[in-house]
Amino acid sequence: MQHFIDAAPGIRLWAEEHGPTDAPPLLLIMGAQSSGRGWPDELVRMLARRHRVIRYDHRDTGRSTWSFDERPYPITALAEDAVAVLDGLDVRRAHVAGMSLGGMLAQLLVTDHPGRLLSATLMGTCALSTAPYVHPDGPRTPAEELPGVAPHVLEMWARPAEDLGLEAELERRVEHWRALSGELLPFDAEYARDLERRIIEHTGHHIAGTAHARADDSGMIRTDELAKTDVPTLVISAPAEPVFPPPHPQHLAQVIRGARLVEIPGMGHALPRPVLGPLASAILEHTSEARRPNS
């Protein structure tokens, strides 16, 4: 079932639900410049066996309002959009799962709206914390000195956005997924191309968005709040991750009170078919075990 939700003045968000309407809600939050259709249908179906799964388009993606050039907004507004989706669908409390920027937004929900969450799952992201990473053998690494984005990914991100036509844009996106997937699993170019072709059809055009890369990202640190949270949190560790490589997941699990860490073999900064089953199993185990007062 599809919906359009008024999230803010002049901002309408597209959302879609799968699964039983009386099942525990699970809100999926995608990364920067990514439509909610970036969550593969196969993964959504797996999760919908036990959940009312909700995926949605951030503003300036997919079928949601594209408005940044006329009305710039901070990244924190995207977290409030997620709350607006819950409100628009009459969801009082939900499990959330966020990937990349979506994992940061999920952390903002954990700290700023804990009463709306049943649990959180974070993947492909970094901690919104200035606390150092403590290595297993004792040394500490300041958060700002943890490994950065792989050079080959940074090089792709630095290229200017150009409209060279649909097929050229499809090829660019496929190569982007190749770079993000890491080197531990064979890359399936046709799978990536099919995913992006369906996203373009959903959006109605192939123009690449840049709003989230230009949005103000200040005011997102939540060191103390993450250390005190009661929201059950699962951190997914991806050994082939080129954007937030290890030990970023380990750092996340340290700075979020009570967080649990699960590694998905071969996973990078993408959702190829081989990781979907293990990822769904990890999320479903976490959501089934999450217990909070009055849940």
Residue type, 53: V
pLDDT(161) > 70: yes
| Contact call for residues 292 and 118 (beta carbons, < 8 A) | yes
pLDDT at residue 291 above 70?
Answer: no
| Confidence class for position 293, pLDDT limits 50, 70, 90 | very low
- Cis peptide bond upstream of 132, omega within 30: no
Residue 294 belongs to some domain of the structure: no
- pLDDT value for 163: 84
In a domain, 253, yes or no: yes
Please name which of 224, 47, 60, 223 lies closest in space to residue 126, comparing C-alpha atoms.
223
User: What is the total count of domains within the chain?
Assistant: 1
98 forms beta bridges with 29, 122
Name the residue range of residue 279's domain.
Answer: 2-289
- The answer to whether 207 touches 53, Cβ cutoff 8 Å, is no
3-state SS of 10-36?
Answer: CEEEEEEEECCCCCCEEEEECCCCCCH
- Report CA torsion sign: 143, 124, 113, 118: negative
Q: Give the integer Cα–Cα distance in Å for 53 and 247.
A: 30
pLDDT tens-place string over residues 172-197: 999 999 999 999 999 999 999 999 99
Give the pLDDT mean for 96-124.
Answer: 98
Residue 264 lies inside a defined structural domain of this protein:
yes
Q: 8 pairs with which residues across the strands?
A: 11
Q: What is the pLDDT of residues 28-61, one digit of tens each?
A: 999 999 999 999 999 999 999 999 999 999 999 9
Length of the chain, in residues: 295
Question: Is residue 202 domain-resident?
Answer: yes
Average of pLDDT values for 227-246?
A: 98
Assign residue 257 the CATH number of its domain: 3.40.50.1820
Task: Say yes or no to pLDDT of 292 above 80.
Answer: no
- Does residue 295 have a pLDDT over 80? no
With respect to residue 174, please indicate whether it lies within any of the assigned structural domains: yes
- Dihedral sign for Cα atoms in the order 226, 230, 231, 237: positive
Q: What is the pLDDT of residue 289?
A: 93
Return the percentage of the chain with pLDDT > 90, whole number: 96
Residue 242, domain member (yes or no): yes
User: Is residue 295 in some structural domain?
Assistant: no
Task: List, as one string, the DSSP characters of 226-239.
Answer: HHH--S-EEEEE-T
